[in-house]
Structure 1
Amino acid sequence: MSILEMKVPSPGESITEVEIATWLVKDGDYVEKDQAIAEVDSDKATLELPAEASGIITLKAEEGDAVAVGQVVCLIDTGAAKPSGSAPAAEAPKAEEKKEEVKAAPAAASAPAATYATGSASPAAKKILDEKSIDAASVQGTGKDGRVTKEDALNATPSMGTPTGGPRGTERKKMSMLRRKVAERLVEAKNTTAMLTTFNEVNLTEVNKIRAEFKDAFKAKHNASLGFMSFFTKAVTRALQLYPDVNSMIDGQEQIKFDFADISIAVSGPKGLMVPVVRNAELLSFRGVEAEIKRLATRARDGQITVDEMTGGTFTITNGGVFGSMLSTPIINPPQSGILGMHNIIERPVAVDGQVVIAPMMYIALSYDHRIIDGRESVGFLVAVKEALENPMELLMNNDPKKALEL
């Protein structure tokens, strides 16, 4: 018998502990080399743990256990023969997420309802009480001999202790390590920064014209969509060069400024919000931005994103508009000092050159750390983003859209 001890690999620098989120195999299963056998949560990402060899597996940790990097989590008997008729490794089902359900018992099971009336309800009162799902015995009647009148029924309201027959179940489950870390960071950002938000609105008419004219050719040549994110990313990197304080962070009593723009893009993954980083976005073309965002979003969706791909950003863009948000105050992603919030696009009347026209409008928001960024820089930055998006041909494409889009 040859036994291989599988230990938790380091998912990234400074990470010393992970949590077993889900075992994808059962104790005693035969696994193939490189087959995903578990999903593990770090405080930055959810990663798959592949089998280091083929054989029969013995699990040494439970789902939800916190295990140190380097700790043995399972054994693989590499000398075991593969059982005949076993399903291919790729078909191994994921273990179902364990849930603890707590159901509240109806109040009547522990104590009988108090009876106030010595008489019965009138037919009209009974009809009203039935519609409200209220027991007539729980209503104080004001009629003769305690009879519940129509007026009593109209004024009656269900008490908190009166069962109404509806579902009253609750569900409790442990938050993943990633979600707990996100929660900690959000509270930290609110408690340790002097966060302030400034707002503006953008007329996206010109962006829409460019997308309508060139999106098909762009898709055909680059196999990527010409979306809004490339325009916003290019507008942000331009504004960061004009207002470098927004592209900086505090370290103790020092301010660190960056001459590059690593843009964190908030995306929604299967395990919640993830923020992969587009490196040196200021050097990328429209095609480069779209291709990199597509690559990172796909890896986040498929659970393949790495810790290194989500660390080190200097500024963040988040798009709540894809979920229908009209306006929000995004929370800074520490240790960064600024985050731009995009929102949904609504056609509404606006004044353009003295005329009222219908235009595709979006509210944009910049949350920033007022300890390091003053009002002039924050407002100027947001105005620069607005200017670039309302005049993209000149400010983002140097009046040559075909060249800018590499068509």
Structure 2
Amino acid sequence: MKEIKIPELAESITEGTIAEWLVSKGDKVEKGDPVVELETDKVNVEVNSDFAGVITEIVSEEGDDVEVGDVIAKLDENGEAGGEASEEESEETSSSDKEEKAEEKKEDKQEEDKSEDKEEAQIEDTDETPGKNEVIASPAARKRARELNIDLSSVQTRDPMGRVRPEDVEDAAKGGSEKKESKSKPSKKEESKNTEKTEFDKPVERTKMSRRRQTIAKNLVNVQQESAMLTTFNEIDMSAIMKLRSERKDKFLEKHDVKLGFMSFFTKAVVGALKEFPLLNAEIQGNEIVEKKFYDIGIAVSTDDGLVVPVVRDADRLDFAGVEKEIGELGKKARDNKLQLKDLQGGSFSITNGGIFGSMLSTPILNAPQVGILGMHNIQKRAMVMPDDSIEVRPMMYLALSYDHRIVDGKEAVQFLVRIKEMLEDPYDLLLEG
């Protein structure tokens, strides 16, 4: 009999949740066949069998949390798919286990009866001669005290005769656990308020958070607690970009087999601005500032399981078509749940586009350990006063830059955003330089 265990997944991943079993009990698998899909903090991965044989037991069910090294299934190398041998073996094992458990229960019952008889005798003696033992308690109370490991002498009773009853023991257990909790773990008090289940008078539906959603929630809270995050805003006139796209989109699609979107313009503008303001392409490690001399830009993608940020590698070396292809491929992989760990690691700066959902303005949260993230928003036509004091209707977009004020000053952040605005409002130069 062989065991299928959770293998080493990656340096930063030590646990996961069983998302879906790809095999069932009695199925025959070959060495290297995927047997289960595991949901981790970042991506879903398939666990393969290291042996060939028949699945005889599923140890962990879908939804169970597992760690590296845990046994999740058992496999018989000599078994046949749906064969009688493995079934008979499992039946024998099952019947043997049942007999052992029944025998253990029988012995436990006998010992419990003896213990209760002895205890009742002691109680009767106590009731008759209370001087021998100051605690007067009913048999049920003494039994409950043993179960809860409560010292009867410490139990306060409401009985006028001083007799301890089961409800007194229950109250003592509750009070003791609360005091112990508050003394040993005072920091948990606030946490319990947040995690305490609230009962509702009207119908509700409770759903367990996915592992990825839990990780996203934890990371977002950590970023706000561990960084000095600040957001600055600006607006850009999208007229020039929209005109350029209208002029070039057909030839661009014909030549490169990919559509010319907005994201390539913003990605190239971000790279240009990062070269002028390198601290926004850095991160903090201990008491050191690490300036990155590469430009791996994370592009936030919304999926059914939550937000992920796959990375466009070496965006400074790609042309507009290369950026659009990379973004398209990564977005498809994210929505199909096909992203790998390497697709998510090592970004130096991020871009998120809430405008596709209709957002007019927001303050994006940093993607740690990065110190900058650019937020795009919805394009709205607004009346704008032009340099000659005339009024024109222009397609305008608000931009938001969130940054870590620990290493990026307000002056740099504002100038960075202004530089992006200048490049996007004159995209022809951006194309020539890009």
Do both share a fold (TM > 0.5)?
yes
**Count of aligned positions:** 315
Match of 2:355 in 1: 321
- SS, match of residue 268 in structure 1: strand
- SS, match of residue 27 in structure 1: coil
- SS, match of residue 413 in structure 2: helix
Query: How far is 1:52 from its partner?
Result: 5.7
- SS, match of residue 185 in structure 1: helix
Q: Does 1:259 align with 2:258?
A: no
Flag the 1:284–1:26 CA change in 2: closer, same or farther, 3 A.
Answer: same
Look up the equivalent residue of 1:67 and give its one-letter code.
V
Flag the 1:52–1:337 CA change in 2: closer, same or farther, 3 A.
Answer: same
Q: What is the distance in 2 between the residues matched to 1:324 and 1:30?
A: 50
Flag the 1:239–1:195 CA change in 2: closer, same or farther, 3 A.
Answer: same
Q: Report percent identity of matched pairs.
A: 50
Flag the 1:357–1:337 CA change in 2: closer, same or farther, 3 A.
Answer: same
8 Å Cα contact 1:60-1:72 kept in structure 2:
yes
Gaps of at least 5 residues in structure 2 are 84-200
Larger radius of gyration: 2
Alpha-carbon deviations, 1:279-322, whole Å to 9, x = none? 11111111111111111111111111112211111111011111
8 Å Cα contact 1:12-1:308 kept in structure 2:
no
Look up the equivalent residue of 2:404 and give its one-letter code.
D
Moved more, 345-354 or 199-208: 345-354
Match of 1:13 in 2: 11
Q: Does 1:61 align with 2:96?
A: no
Match of 1:361 in 2: 396
Query: How far is 1:269 from its partner?
Result: 2.1
Match of 1:176 in 2: 210
Q: What is the distance in 1 between the residues matched to 2:79 and 2:32?
A: 17
- SS, match of residue 13 in structure 2: coil
Q: How does 1:155-174 map to 2 (within 5 A)?
A: 168-174=202-208
Q: Does 1:23 align with 2:21?
A: yes
Gaps of at least 5 residues in structure 1 are 85-162, 399-403
- SS, match of residue 258 in structure 2: coil
TM-score, with length taken from structure 1: 0.72
Alpha-carbon deviations, 1:175-224, whole Å to 9, x = none? 12211111111001111111110000111111111211221222222222
Flag the 1:33–1:209 CA change in 2: closer, same or farther, 3 A.
Answer: farther
Q: What is the distance in 2 between the residues matched to 1:386 and 1:33?
A: 56
Q: What is the distance in 1 between the residues matched to 2:52 and 2:247?
A: 54
Q: Does 1:200 align with 2:199?
A: no
Query: How far is 1:70 from its partner?
Result: 3.2
TM-score, with length taken from structure 2: 0.68
8 Å Cα contact 1:324-1:343 kept in structure 2:
yes
Match of 1:341 in 2: 375
Q: What is the distance in 1 between the residues matched to 2:392 and 2:22?
A: 56
Alpha-carbon deviations, 1:151-198, whole Å to 9, x = none? xxxxxxxxxxxx9xxxx3212122122111111110011111111100
Flag the 1:83–1:294 CA change in 2: closer, same or farther, 3 A.
Answer: farther
RMSD: 2.3
Q: What is the distance in 2 between the residues matched to 1:218 and 1:63?
A: 46
8 Å Cα contact 2:26-2:81 kept in structure 1:
no
Q: What is the distance in 2 between the residues matched to 1:83 and 1:245?
A: 62
- SS, match of residue 316 in structure 1: strand
8 Å Cα contact 2:27-2:82 kept in structure 1:
no
Match of 1:40 in 2: 38
Q: How does 1:88-237 map to 2 (within 5 A)?
A: 168-237=202-271
- SS, match of residue 260 in structure 1: coil
Q: What is the distance in 2 between the residues matched to 1:271 and 1:4?
A: 34
8 Å Cα contact 1:202-1:364 kept in structure 2:
yes
Flag the 1:220–1:36 CA change in 2: closer, same or farther, 3 A.
Answer: farther
Flag the 1:359–1:376 CA change in 2: closer, same or farther, 3 A.
Answer: same
Q: Does 1:244 align with 2:278?
A: yes
8 Å Cα contact 1:59-1:73 kept in structure 2:
yes
- SS, match of residue 169 in structure 1: coil
